[in-house]
Amino acid sequence: MKKRAIVTALCSLTLAAIGMFGLSNTAGASSVNDYIANNNIGHASVTSSVWSGFPKNAYRKGTGKPEGVVVHETANPNSTIYNEIAYMKKNYNNAFVHSFVDASRIINIANTNYLAWGAGYPANARFVQFEQVEVHSKSAFAHEIANAAYYTAYILDKYGLTPNDAAYDGKGTVWSHGGVSKYLGGTNHTDPAGYYASAGKKYFGASYTFAQFYQLVKTTYNNLAADGAAHGSLTASSAKTAYDKVTYAKADTQASLGDSYKSYKLYNHVKNSRSGIKSYSWSSVDASVGKQVHIDNIGTKSNGHDWYRITFSTDSGAKKYWVYEKALDLIN
What is the total count of domains within the chain?
Answer: 2
Contact between 134 and 211 under an 8 Å Cβ cutoff? The reply is no
Helices (H) and strands (E) in the chain, counts: 9, 13
Whole-model pTM? 0.64
| Residue 105 included in any domain | yes
63: domain CATH number?
Answer: 3.40.80.10
At 237, the pLDDT band (50, 70, 90 cuts) reads very low
- 170 and 185 belong to one structural domain: yes
- 190 and 225 belong to one structural domain: yes
Of the candidates 125, 140, 131, the residue with the CA atom closest to the CA atom of residue 57: 125
Across 9-18, 49-58, 127-136, least confident range: 9-18
Q: What pLDDT digit, counting tens, does each position of 67-88 carry?
A: 999 999 999 999 999 999 999 9
- 265 and 236 belong to one structural domain: no
322: domain CATH number?
Answer: 2.30.30.170
What is the identity of the amino acid at 151? Y
Question: Which of these three, 182, 212, 240, is where a domain ends?
Answer: 240
- 194 and 294 belong to one structural domain: no
pLDDT at 74: 97
Contact between 71 and 127 under an 8 Å Cβ cutoff? The reply is no
Question: Which domain does 319 fall in, by range?
Answer: 244-330
- What percent of the chain shows pLDDT beyond 90? 69
Contact between 109 and 85 under an 8 Å Cβ cutoff? The reply is yes
- 314 and 224 belong to one structural domain: no
Cβ within 8 Å of residue 7, ≥6 positions away: 249, 250, 251, 298
- 203 and 184 belong to one structural domain: yes
- What percent of the chain shows pLDDT beyond 70? 86
- 129 and 176 belong to one structural domain: yes
pLDDT at 223: 83
- 55 and 149 belong to one structural domain: yes
